[in-house]
Chains A and B, each alone.
Chain A
């Protein structure tokens, strides 16, 4: 069964550094998302992406964040200058057209020290 794959599984970075989290969505999916879950809190929406542009973003997704689909398979989340509070599990998700369920990757645990 096709899967959403995310790399790396764990990323440790120093405050102020840039990080790029990578995702390969399921190949016939058209809509792409990033969610995050801070330890002990809810899974929360960050951004959705369709047709090579952002469709919607949350208040969390400020100017420090950006997303890109540089080729036909990868979908990346960049945090320009990480803060301690960016430490969380970041989940990539995708779905095909229509009201179909989101399929999530296993996440990248980002630790900012």
Chain B
């Protein structure tokens, strides 16, 4: 089951530069997308989300772009910092905007981001 794909298992970036993490999905029913960061021995930490009615959402250094026609989203981190080094998971849901009901997330396999000082 590869409904959410993160094709790059790892990415290495210099401090201060932009990090771009990519995610593709196949299920057209997905309408709510999230990015999580995960450090070893910790649970996923929510970073930023976007609904299918938008194509961009920004929060500080983090921006998520959604291209519905291509079924593609990306997370931009700028400027990248060494503390950003972690595994980044893309996740998607088909019930993000069903108004109060529960929803389940389908995760990608993650991309290990390393930001070098």
Chain A interface bracket (under 10, 10 to 19, 20 to 34, 35 or more):
20 to 34
CB < 8 Å: which of A33, A50, A91, A106 contacts B41?
A106
Nearest chain A CB to B109's CB is how many angstroms away? 5
Closest residue of chain B to A31 (Cβ to Cβ) is B102
Nearest chain A CB to B39's CB is how many angstroms away? 10
CB of A84 within 8 Å of the partner chain: no
The reply to whether B104 and A48 contact each other, CB–CB distance below 8 Å, is yes
Closest residue of chain A to B93 (Cβ to Cβ) is A99
Interface residue ranges of A87-113 to B (CB < 8 Å): 91, 93, 97-99, 101-107
Contact flags (1/0) for A52-82 with B, using CB distance below 8 Å?
0001101000000000000000000000000
CA distance A33 to B103 in the complex (A): 9
Nearest chain B CB to A11's CB is how many angstroms away? 15
